[in-house]
């Protein structure tokens, strides 16, 4: 789920928001804890790290149920600290399970720091204040909106600021183990919804990468854009009482999910991870890539350290092949020129993105569609995801028969050796506006594994996009005994195609 609507500013005269955000509100500076080798996680991990100097251990999480179980186990094994950084947490079953797990850790004496973007916190002020009232639980909101009942006033009066969002996702316990990737905290990211689920990937990391993620987190946590809850929120009269009410709501939500096939599947994976088999980790050199939090400030953004510098260097170092997996793929002129540069050097390029049927943002598809012809003409191979729910790992085991599958994975593979996993989309919003995070892992094992999964899935899970002899875009379904060529956007209604076409005339491509 990504928010992409603030650029559609109504052409009406409205007063700007009367409320303000007090970015000077006092807040204590804090950093990741260093003395954690004697924790449960430290005792398991430190000896492993000593055997692999200069490398970190990584484990990929393609399955949504696995991804939730890993987070729950990490939180429940935390002894000293837990740092969570997310673009959004929703008030659905998964959101309550997640917050409940963090709260249990705080009750045990674990220092919990929750850093959340403000894109989807409308109505959450009392809950955030409640959590923040716990002596071991601190909440900060990155770049908060001043208007707490709605965002339109901010969009009109302070667009240059509120348009810039923190899209990073990280979860670190005891400064010993970390988890980063593309998943936000909502049911659709963990194969738990009945109507729609997102295919995504996270990576668990141990070793020196954990300190790197912690330093990144600290830079955001202590940044001027990270505001304490009282600096902007509609505060409840009694936060402590609000916390007790929140506990009751959490318990009620847990009761709803406790005896379901989904909960059973999560328990199975939880117990599997609990056995602590260290052989699941692949050890490799890596580079952690992320934007400076200064990117959130318009006047500083141009000079801020950018994730794109690191990513472009890794890609340009490639020799043979680039595979891009991006749900929101909107290459503007400079992006198309970048692909042409790689093609001129002889690199094979494959791009997998959402089809119009599978995307959850038709307006983003309108920005991508015009790039198909120039990319195909230069020899880039394009594939678009079908909306078949069986494409999402974990859906069947969890008992959710989704009517729509959406690609949400943000990854690329260079020469089947260097694998990037993170929050970065190949679109103008990730490049120029939002802050992003990811890791480049130099591993033929993980790069080859991920590329192999792509190879296996292209024929059955995607449509190949081609140009026919007349230079017209067509879609080829390779799932059957013979290829089937489709003349229009597959699995879409006339209205959805019309809507996506209409969006193309809007001057918003740089905001997608």
Closest CA to 392 of 378, 406, 382, 380: 406
Q: Residue for token digits 């402590």?
A: 240
- What is the number of residues in the chain? 512
Query: Which residues in 386-445 belong to E strands, given as ranges?
Result: 404-407, 411-414, 418-422, 437-442
Catalytic residue status for 320: no
Question: Among this protein's residues, is 125 annotated catalytic?
Answer: no
**Which tokens sit at 157?**
């009066």
Distance of CA 458 to the CA centre of its chain: 23
| Contact of 206 with 45, CB cutoff 8 Å | yes
**DSSP 8-class letter at 391:** G
Q: Of the residues 169, 253, 387, 509, which is catalytic?
A: 169
User: Catalytic residue among 63, 415, 427, 509, which?
Assistant: 415
Our answer to whether residue 174 is catalytic in this structure is: yes
- Can 373 be counted among the known catalytic residues? no
**Calpha distance 339→320 (Å, rounded):** 13
Contact status, residue 130 vs residue 238, Cβ threshold 8 Å: no
The CA distance from 114 to 123, in Å, is 17
What's the rounded Cα separation, in Å, for the pair 186 and 120? 11
Query: 167, 223, 365, 387: which one is catalytic?
Result: 167
Active-site residue among 151, 361, 408, 509? Answer: 408
User: Of the listed 223, 361, 386, 410, which one is catalytic?
Assistant: 410
DSSP per residue over 275-342, as a string?
Answer: T--GGGPEEE-EEEEE--GGGGSHHHHTTS--HHHHHHHHHHT-SSEEEEE-SS----HHHHHHHHHH
- In angstroms, rounded to a whole number, what is the distance separating the alpha carbons of residues 102 and 114? 9
**169 part of the active site:** yes
Choose the catalytic residue: 66, 154, 174, 202. 174
Catalytic machinery residues: 167, 169, 174, 408, 410, 415
């Amino acid at each position: 789920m990504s928010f992409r609507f603030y650029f559609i500013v109504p052409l009406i005269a409205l007063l700007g928001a009367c409320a303000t955000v007090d970015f000077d509100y006092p807040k204590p500076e804090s950093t990741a804890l260093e003395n954690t080798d004697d924790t449960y996680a430290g005792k398991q991990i430190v000896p492993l790290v000593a055997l692999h100097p200069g490398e970190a251990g990584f484990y990929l999480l393609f399955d949504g149920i696995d991804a939730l179980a890993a987070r729950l186990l990490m939180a429940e094994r935390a002894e000293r600290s837990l740092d969570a950084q997310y673009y959004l947490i929703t008030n659905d079953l998964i959101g309550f399970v997640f917050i409940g797990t963090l709260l249990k850790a705080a009750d045990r004496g674990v220092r919990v720091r929750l850093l959340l973007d403000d894109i989807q916190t409308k109505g959450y002020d009392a809950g955030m204040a409640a959590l923040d009232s716990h002596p071991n639980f601190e909440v900060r909101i990155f770049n908060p909106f001043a208007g707490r009942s709605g965002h339109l006033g901010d969009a009109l009066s302070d667009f240059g600021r509120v348009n810039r969002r923190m899209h990073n996702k990280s979860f670190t316990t005891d400064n010993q183990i970390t988890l980063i990737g593309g998943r936000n905290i909502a049911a659709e990211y963990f194969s738990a919804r009945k109507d729609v689920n997102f295919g995504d990937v996270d990576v668990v990391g141990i070793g020196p990468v954990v300190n790197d993620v912690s330093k990144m987190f600290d830079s955001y946590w202590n940044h001027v854009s990270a505001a304490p809850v009282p600096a902007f929120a509609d505060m409840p009269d009694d936060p402590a009482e609000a916390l007790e009410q929140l506990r009751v709501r959490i318990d009620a939500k847990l009761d709803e999910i406790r005896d379901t096939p989904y909960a059973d599947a999560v328990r199975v994976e939880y117990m599997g991870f609990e056995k602590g088999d260290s052989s699941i980790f692949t050890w490799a050199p890596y580079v952690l890539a992320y934007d400076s939090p200064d990117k959130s400030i318009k006047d500083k953004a141009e000079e801020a350290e950018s994730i794109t510098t690191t990513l472009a260097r890794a890609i340009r170092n490639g020799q043979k092949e680039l595979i891009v997996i991006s749900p929101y793929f909107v290459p503007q002129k400079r992006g198309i020129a970048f692909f042409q540069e790689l093609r001129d050097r002889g690199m094979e390029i494959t791009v997998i993105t959402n089809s119009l049927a599978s995307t959850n943002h038709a307006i983003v598809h309108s920005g991508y569609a015009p790039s198909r012809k120039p990319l195909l003409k230069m020899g880039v191979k394009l594939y678009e995801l079908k909306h078949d729910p069986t494409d999402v790992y974990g859906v069947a085991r969890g008992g959710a028969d989704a009517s729509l599958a959406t690609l949400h994975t943000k990854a690329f593979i260079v020469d089947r050796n260097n694998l990037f996993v993170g929050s970065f989309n190949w679109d103008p919003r990730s490049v120029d506006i939002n802050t992003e995070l990811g890791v480049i892992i130099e591993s033929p094992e993980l790069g080859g594994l991920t590329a192999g999964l792509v190879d296996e899935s292209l024929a059955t899970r995607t449509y190949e996009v081609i140009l026919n002899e007349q230079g017209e875009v067509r879609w080829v379904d390779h799932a059957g005994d013979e290829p089937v060529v489709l003349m229009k956007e597959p699995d879409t209604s006339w209205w959805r195609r019309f809507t996506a076409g209409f969006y193309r005339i809007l001057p918003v491509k740089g905001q997608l």
